Copies of this chain bind each other. A is one copy, B any other.
Amino acid sequence: MARWRKLGIIAGGGALPARIAAACRAREEPFHIVRLSGIADKSLTAFDHDDCAIGEAGKILRVLKQQNCDGVIFAGHVRRPDFSSLKVDWRGAALMPRAIAAAARGDGPLLSVLVETVEAEGMLVVGAEEALSDLAAPAGAIGKIEPRDEDFDDIRKAAAVINALGSFDIGQAAVVAEGFVLAVEAAEGTDAMLERCAAPPLLGERKRSGVLVKRPKPGQELRVDLPVIGPETVRNAARAALSGIAIEAGCALIIDRDIVIQLADEAGLFVYGFTGAELEAK
């Protein structure tokens, strides 16, 4: 039983918002989309929606209330805005000082300001995995292939790298191959990071090895901005000749799981949901 009656979906980029909308429609649950202009996917116009600029906090909140949304989900990725050229309404302008101060401390604090603002209006902020429960990464192998012992060593190291960078509010992903840190994600995004692992010098003479690990930053707001993988992640990992992808069970989202499994099995990659206990083992 959902904790809300009507879901407002604040839609950033990527495929996640449309998946959530489609799932709501399939279950005949009411929802309304706020498309962030210039960021959200065009396909979302097929659903009930309004378009708002990211700085129009007043309009976004007004739309959600007019539509009687009592649950709100932030879905999809949003690039950090350029505050100096942002289109804002008065409510957005009023939020600006706090938002800018928070943004200076990283994406995490910025998102917290948004969450608090929505909650102060009496709406419930919902995690994507709650709205669409089969999105959440389960524990263990998803698909046919299991990581080998040496893959677990790489998983542990990459997970530790992401953890060490947590206080700097950097990315949620790293690639480690045979104990060697190939790439660390900062602002470029996972696809761009995998792209450089698929080209010289990082590809080099490496045989198939290495793991992409995605996990939340320590202490991050888990209802917003959970790490996501999908079919494109598997394709890119295969191009980069990695052995597999590991995500933190329950703390990452898998879009189009059936396709992810099929692509991973075909490419001979594992997709694995690791637990905190597995990181500590050894």
Contact = CB atoms under 8 A, between A and B. Distances in A.
Interface stretch (A201-209, A218-226, A271-279): A201-209
| Copies held by the complex | 2
Q: How large is the interface on A (under 10, 10 to 19, 20 to 34, 35 or more residues)?
A: 35 or more
Contacts of A174: 186
A169 B179 CA distance: 10
A94 interface: no
Given A187-B181, A204-B79, A170 B165 contact: no
B184 A186 contact: yes
A84 B209 CA distance: 14
A116 to B, nearest CB: 20
A281 interface: no
Interface stretch (A1-9, A15-23, A188-196): A188-196
Contacts of A201: 79, 187-189
Interface in A87-120: 103-106
A157 B168 contact: yes
Contacts of A80: 180
6 contacts: A82-B204, A84-B207, A161-B165, A161-B168, A164-B167, A182-B186
Interface of A: 79-80, 82, 84-85, 103-106, 157, 160-161, 164-165, 167-170, 174-175, 178-189, 192, 196, 201-202, 204-207
